[in-house]
Amino acid sequence: MESIKQWLAGSMCFCLLSIISFSGTAAAESPAVLAQSYILVEASTGRVILEKDADVLKYPASMTKMMTAVLALEKLQPETQISILDDAANTEDCPLGFSQGDVFTRDELVGGMLLVSDNGAAVALADRVDGSVPAFAKRMNERAAVLGMKHTHFENPNGLTVPTHYSTARDMMILARYAMENKTFRNMVARKTADVHWLSPAGKHLRAENTNALLESYPGAIGVKTGWTGESGGCLAAEAERDGTDLLVVLMASPTEGGRFTDARTLLDYGFSHVKTAEGPKADKTKHTIWVKDGTACRTEVKAVQDIRYPLIHGEDASHYSLTYDLPKVVSAKETQDGIVGHIIVNYDGQPVGRVDMKAEPIESGFSVTSWLVGTITSLLGW
């Protein structure tokens, strides 16, 4: 009996030591991050590599400007003139240093806003797109719903703190991925510095430095947007590319301004050491045709916004990936002009792990007999 007791005691000690040893190894491998919430994903698919409290509501601060910028780029032409109105000129924290009555083109103001995180510039863009901040905030929330940002509500275009302006790390990741699909946006946020030019006063310009310190210090960094208020703490959406692998990290509520960059480096380093990327189908190989109502044509082609990549975590096998398509039977002509109309669902071992946006060839709103028939049949079938 005594020998059995000794054997059992020894076995329990071995198991306990094994558990302690395993736990210590796991803890040592987990990156030390001070931000209260974060999410690290492979950027092209959104497949999650690491996350912590990614659905907890936080203040997004100036990461909000990603939505403001992409909507302004979509709704305004490059040569559109934007005048600084009184509400924009008197907004808190305007490092561009403009005054009421100053005039910019779309790209100069959007680019300047993104680089130096100018709050008044965001207000000026909202005024120009929709006539007022409340009307633009409505547009922001409508787009957030389309993108699947389930825990976000926008109250303003710049991220100044109010209780009803909130988001999550996961939702900001969705927004950052969408914004980076816009080539103009992507080029803007990758710049370390740029000269911002005024139309009026003629000849005035400012050398703007990007608030994203990673562009200077982290190899492969290509964006995206910083954020900071006393209430939000440090926020950052950061994307980097290395050897064909594209990673995106979003973190919120970092205790210090510098700490958000340290956290991002730590998470990106972890990602690049654990993730490789395999080539999937080219975007052109994903083409599908869908019906269009209320347009000058009754059909349009949709395809992925980019070539498909398969993230391989901890040595996974690309042959385990498959794709499924989430597309509506019918879209309106306006929807083909506004943005995404469907998604490719990326599966690993049959389980969805990410998605890629699909956009349509734009169809003009208007009338054609065939498109009218599509609309009529759609109504009859309840689609």
Assess contact for 245 and 279: CB atoms under 8 A.
Answer: no
Catalytic residue among 37, 44, 65, 293: 65
Catalytic residue among 37, 117, 232, 254: 117
Catalytic residue among 62, 167, 232, 371: 62
379 is catalytic: no
Task: Measure the CA–CA gap between 291 and 368, rounded to whole angstroms.
Answer: 13
Query: Residue 229 to residues 152, 158, 301, 376: CA-CA distances in angstroms?
Result: 18, 11, 43, 51
225 labeled part of a ligand binding site = yes
For residue 355, give the nearest of 37, 42, 38, 53 by alpha carbon: 42
What are the tokens at 259?
């700490």
For residue 108, give the nearest of 235, 186, 194 by alpha carbon: 194
List strand residue ranges (DSSP E) for the chain, in order.
37-42, 47-52, 81-83, 103-105, 193-197, 205-209, 221-229, 233-242, 245-254, 275-279, 288-293, 299-304, 309-313, 321-326, 330-332, 340-348, 351-360
Cα dihedral 253, 258, 264, 265, rounded to 10, equals -160
Q: 168 — alpha (psi -120 to 50), left (phi > 0) or beta? A: beta
62 is catalytic: yes
Long-range contacts of 25-32, Cβ-Cβ distance < 8 Å, separation of 24 or more: 31/266, 31/267, 31/269, 31/270, 32/266
Q: What is the DSSP letter of 362?
A: P
Query: Residues with catalytic annotation?
Result: 62, 65, 117
Binding residues for substrate: 225
Binding residues: 225
